[in-house]
Structure 1
Amino acid sequence: MSDARWRQITKGYVSVQGHHSPVRAPGETLARMAMAVRVTPTELRGAGRDDAAAELELLLERAEQERPSPPQGGYAPPLDAVTAIMAALSPEEQEEVIRRLRSGSPARPRSEEYDQHRRTG
């Protein structure tokens, strides 16, 4: 979907030669947009878009079914990689990573103080 089309749908109109014409996204299109920005089916229903909510439920169900199952033998590459990285960190750094993961906050830009700590630590 183009950026222009996304804007038209979110604004609810398209402007042609200075005139605004209403735009209403088809249910499937709106469901795909909702999935991209993590809008729930309940939220779509609250906005009066039961059609898009039903489509989103189908998309989410399909995505869950298509998710690969964990490999046999307990090997999980992403988890093993994170574990290896965490093992290389100091206890303080591990606590900071865990704190950030729990809070859901994005990575903080590194500061001079942090860089100095890493060089001397």
Structure 2
Amino acid sequence: MSEAPEPPPEAKLIRLARKAKGLSPEEAAPLTRGLIGASRWRQIENGYAVRSGERIPTTATPKVLARMAFVVDVTPDRLRGIQCDEAAEILDEIIYQERGQKPAQPAPEPAPEPADAQLRHLLDLWMQLSPVERRAAIGVLEEMVSESTETVSKPDQGLERRTG
């Protein structure tokens, strides 16, 4: 008989999670809703099946892996962490259908707010000023801050008065 191949990372993860839950392959397999039996569960965990006395590497399909992961409470993120993205997507959907939990979505990047863009533009302009121009600008800003609350809340009016 040939030497046993090393089980793939997903097989190791499933075995670890199954053992942590205190389940045997015979107990876990029926929880896949008849998708696989105990012997197939063992083959997937071992990373091989025996055919004609030879150990043939074997893996689970993404659908089977997702169902096995669901049975032993492996999260989609853990599957993604070992590059089982398709199985993770299927598992997200299984969790949604079975438990009513929406799949975890990465938070979208917030769109830059106009104020951020304006601030960047102002800083770019600031960097183009000479030291003398910067000191003059600081003086104007200090005057604006020291003026009444109305002028501070409406800085455009204050600038118009000075420049107009």
TM-score (norm 1): 0.51
Q: Are 2:25 and 1:25 aligned?
A: no
| CA positional deviation for 1:22 | 1.3
1:1-121 equivalences under 5 Å are: 1-65=36-100
CA RMSD of aligned residues (A): 1.5
Q: Deviations over 1:7-64 (max 9, x none)?
A: 0111111012321111121111100000000000011111221111010000001113
Give the counterpart letter for 1:46 in structure 2: G
Q: Which runs of 4+ in 1 moved over 2 A?
A: none
Q: Distance in 1 between matches of 2:59 and 2:81?
A: 16
Q: Which amino acid aligns with 2:99?
A: E
Higher RCO (C-alpha 8 Å, min separation 6) = 2
Gaps of 5+ in 2: 1-35, 102-164
TM-score, normalised relative to structure 2: 0.38
1-structure distance, mates of 2:39, 2:68: 13
| Paired-residue identity, % | 39
Counting matched residue pairs gives 66
Matched position secondary structure for 2:100 = helix
Distance 1:65 1:44 in 2: 20
Q: Unpaired segments of 5 or more residues in structure 1?
A: 67-121
